[in-house]
Amino acid sequence: MDFSQLKHFVCIAQLGGFSKAEEALDVSQPSLSRQMRLLEADLNTKLFLRTGRGVTLTPAGEIFLPHAMAILESIDRGRSALKAANTELVGRIAVGLVPRVARVLTPPLVQAFRARFPRASISVIEGKTPVLTEALNLGRIELAVVFNVDDNGELNLEPLCEEHYVLVGQRNDAGELPPSIDFEELANYPLILPPLSNSIRAKLEIARRRTNTEFQVAVEVETMPAVFDMVKLGIGYSVVGHGEISTRKDEIELTAARIEGMGSRNVTYLAHSRRLPATHLGNATTDLVRSLDIAKLLGAVPVRSPG
């Protein structure tokens, strides 16, 4: 049994005769008859009955037909998959990154993307987590790397890495912060924090209400670079993921204390919309993002397994 025999058998069965199949396949009728005799010999059963109008399938032929068609369809799918794998990807993809991730991921991502998909283009959209999740659901971007997003059922979320939170301040004559502090001790420090739309600030507010802790919010600043500028001026302290400190090794004047009892960690997610189908370029770019070791780039650690 070979592929051509199956193809010819299905064609004859669907058209109801050797003559019609001869025209459709551009194969001589003697050759078709010979192929069917070989197939019937291989299966040890008759597949066709000749009639005045052509041929009909025997009961055995009726049983075999859907299996032969499934084999041919499977071969076609395999050919399509090979063609897609061997075809250079083209098109444009938009990727959303929260600002801190954009700072460290954009250069290696774009460099790797251009090397792997030279005929495709990439657009990197920087924004806060709520803005990027809305863009995902509206189809403005295909994938995003975000912080601390709530699973509301609209997104596919893949945790990539996590960090504990630290209190960070300027190193001065008073010395360094202790290695760790309890969450409630944040009440003793003037804080420089981003607005409530920031994912870390949102986590802080949840923990503050849970523990009845009062904050001294000295300044609210929109961006993290501005937060650190205020910290380095000695205006106050801020709360960040510990990787934020490890990736600022040149800023030796900073001191940090791990915050105990906050009840959560800063988690980085790879996110996609559940409602919108992924493109081939999107799937390939997702694999590319996974390969770039975001945990190392952010100074974070892989997500701990449950339990």
Residue 251: per-residue pLDDT: 63
Q: Which range has the worst mean pLDDT, 171-180, 212-221, 232-241, 257-266?
A: 171-180
Backbone φ and ψ of 153, nearest 5° = 90, -10
Structure tokens at 291: 């390969």
Kindly report, residue by residue over 97-114, the tens digit of the pLDDT: 999 999 999 999 999 999
Kindly report, residue by residue over 158-177, the tens digit of the pLDDT: 999 999 999 999 887 667 89
Residue 222: per-residue pLDDT: 87
* 159-to-74, 136, 174, 287 alpha-carbon distances in Å: 35, 17, 39, 14
| Predicted TM-score of the model (pTM) | 0.68
For the four alpha carbons of 61, 64, 66 and 71, in that order, the dihedral sign comes to negative
Residue 98: per-residue pLDDT: 95
Query: Would the pLDDT of 277 be above 60?
Result: yes
Report the pLDDT averaged over residues 126-131: 92
Greater model confidence, 150 or 85: 150
Position 307 confidence tier, pLDDT thresholds 50, 70, 90? very low
Kindly report, residue by residue over 3-16, the tens digit of the pLDDT: 888 898 898 888 88
Contact present, 147 and 270 (Cβ < 8 Å) = no
Query: Would the pLDDT of 305 be above 80?
Result: no
Kindly report, residue by residue over 192-211, the tens digit of the pLDDT: 999 988 888 989 999 999 99
Q: Give me the domains of the chain, ranges plus CATH numbers.
A: 3-86 (1.10.10.10), 91-160+267-298 (3.40.190.10), 165-260 (3.40.190.10)
Position 81 confidence tier, pLDDT thresholds 50, 70, 90? low
Residue 249: per-residue pLDDT: 58
Query: Would the pLDDT of 279 be above 90?
Result: no
Per the prediction, the chain carries an average pLDDT of 88
User: Exposed, middle or buried: residue 126 (CB in 10 Å: 0-12, 13-18, 19+)?
Assistant: middle
Contact present, 143 and 272 (Cβ < 8 Å) = yes
Structure tokens at 183: 């969450």
Residue 172: per-residue pLDDT: 72
Report the pLDDT averaged over residues 238-253: 79
